Amino acid sequence: MLDYITSYLSSNTTPGQAGNVFWAFVYILVVFGGVSVAVMAMNWLERKALAHFQIRLGPMRVGPHGLLQPIADAIKLFTKEDIVPDKADKFVFWIAPLIILCAAFSVYIVVPFGPTHAITDLNIGVLFMLGVSSLAVLGVVMAGWASNSHYPLIGALRSSAQMVSYEVAMGMAVVSAVLMTSLNKTGTGTLSMIGIVQAQQQQQIWFLFKFFPLGFIAFVIFAIAMVAETNRAPFDLPEAESELTAGFHTEYSGLRWSLFMLGEYAAMIAVSSIAVTLWLGGWMRPFPNTLTGAIWDLVFSLFPGAIFIALAVIAFVGVVRMPKHPYFRIQTLGLAGFGAVLGLIGLILFAPPVRDRIQDIFWFVAKVAVFMYLYIWYRATWPRYRFDQLMKVGWKVLLPIAIGVLILTAILGVLL
């Protein structure tokens, strides 16, 4: 038994490929736990950043700077009454949020956090991610229909039309990136997520800059389509508050509503990680081709620890600046403890064996985090599209450009 567990550590593949059930299980727990925590953090960050965009304070009451707000929200949602409308289709109503959640979380099976840090590596990685995440639209449609109410139905209709149309442009952009993976000696490309990053490693270039500006245009198309695909602003017509209250989940409350939110944010992280894998070099650190050598390796490997230490310093600055009134004592102690934990994590990340293993995960997560911040930025900056404008952008602008980029990429790939 112990042999079985330790034997994987010396192998150089993902647990899924090595066929090690124990480590696959551990990885699944870690990834799903990590994603859930990331969703909570994202929830806090979104409210806070949106508030600062609009010159407000945002959540300030629960914990220092509202840090514990997501936990308080979770407790509130768990204990809230769960209302099912009288004329609703009970079974479909019940199963719809679960489908969205399953679709959002299953795609993490193939997300490559590092060359060995993925649950498994499928031969059809990208295809699997696009296919399974497209199943989320079923949950949206079912939720809208089962509520037996007008706003959810209209929201669901809009959502399905939108997701199906933007999937086409998205797929074309992905294909042009997949084509680039075949530019090696054997001339065979790959769909596997790890294989795609390795192809970028081999060709010494992120696909974002390959055949400039072709790779860049494909990336921009994907970045736009991915926002529409996850029903986020400025494409959040399915849940447009001003016209449809909350769209397809108007009738949901309590725990089930929170499942929708969890699924939405998990899907956002998932599509961002597709973009990172395909165009931004996945787990590779910045400038792996120009800033080479042992010194640069060392400098870049110190980044994860340094970030955590910086966060700890920020927390301690907060402790110092906290008002000295006895009312704030618990908050001050909590923030100091939080800073200490962050600093400790930072120190652990400086240790050489940990540093080497954690590096790839750190760069992948950092790149995804940029996208998550962009999502918030979009929401704060741009007004919502009208539905006909949305369809026009999807079919008449993005799709033709994507097909053009695909054809040009193929031609250049054959010529060069």
Sequential DSSP letters for 179-196: HHTT-SSS------HHHH
Give the x/- contact pattern for another protein in 149-178, rule: CB under 8 A. Answer: ----x--xx--xx-xx--x-----------
What is the chain's alpha carbon radius of gyration, rounded to the nearest angstrom?
Answer: 23
What lies within 8 Å, CB to CB, of 358 at 6+ separation is 304, 349
191 binds another protein per the rule CB under 8 A:
yes
Closer CB to another protein, residue 156 or residue 405?
156
Closer CB to another protein, residue 167 or residue 239?
167
Count the site residues for another protein by CB under 8 A: 35
Pull the structure tokens for residue 267.
């899907």
Nearest-approach distance from CB 138 to another protein, in angstroms: 7
Nearest-approach distance from CB 260 to another protein, in angstroms: 18
* Distance, CA of 23 to chain centre: 23
What lies within 8 Å, CB to CB, of 385 at 6+ separation is 234, 235, 237, 393
122 binds another protein per the rule CB under 8 A:
yes
Task: For the beta carbon of residue 243, count every other beta carbon within 10 angstroms.
Answer: 14
Pick from 371, 107, 164, 152: nearest CA to 257? 152
Closer CB to another protein, residue 128 or residue 260?
128
Nearest-approach distance from CB 9 to another protein, in angstroms: 17
Q: Which of residues 16-35 bind another protein (CB under 8 A)?
A: 16-19, 21
**In this chain, which stretch among 68-76, 138-146, 203-211, 328-336 interacts with another protein, using CB under 8 A?**
138-146
132 binds another protein per the rule CB under 8 A:
yes
| Cα–Cα dist 391/388, whole Å | 5
| Cα–Cα dist 98/373, whole Å | 27
Pick from 272, 346, 348: nearest CA to 38? 272
Closer CB to another protein, residue 226 or residue 312?
226
Residues that bind another protein (CB under 8 A): 16-19, 21, 89, 92, 122-124, 127-128, 130-132, 134-135, 137-138, 141-142, 144-145, 153, 156-157, 160-161, 163-164, 167, 188-191
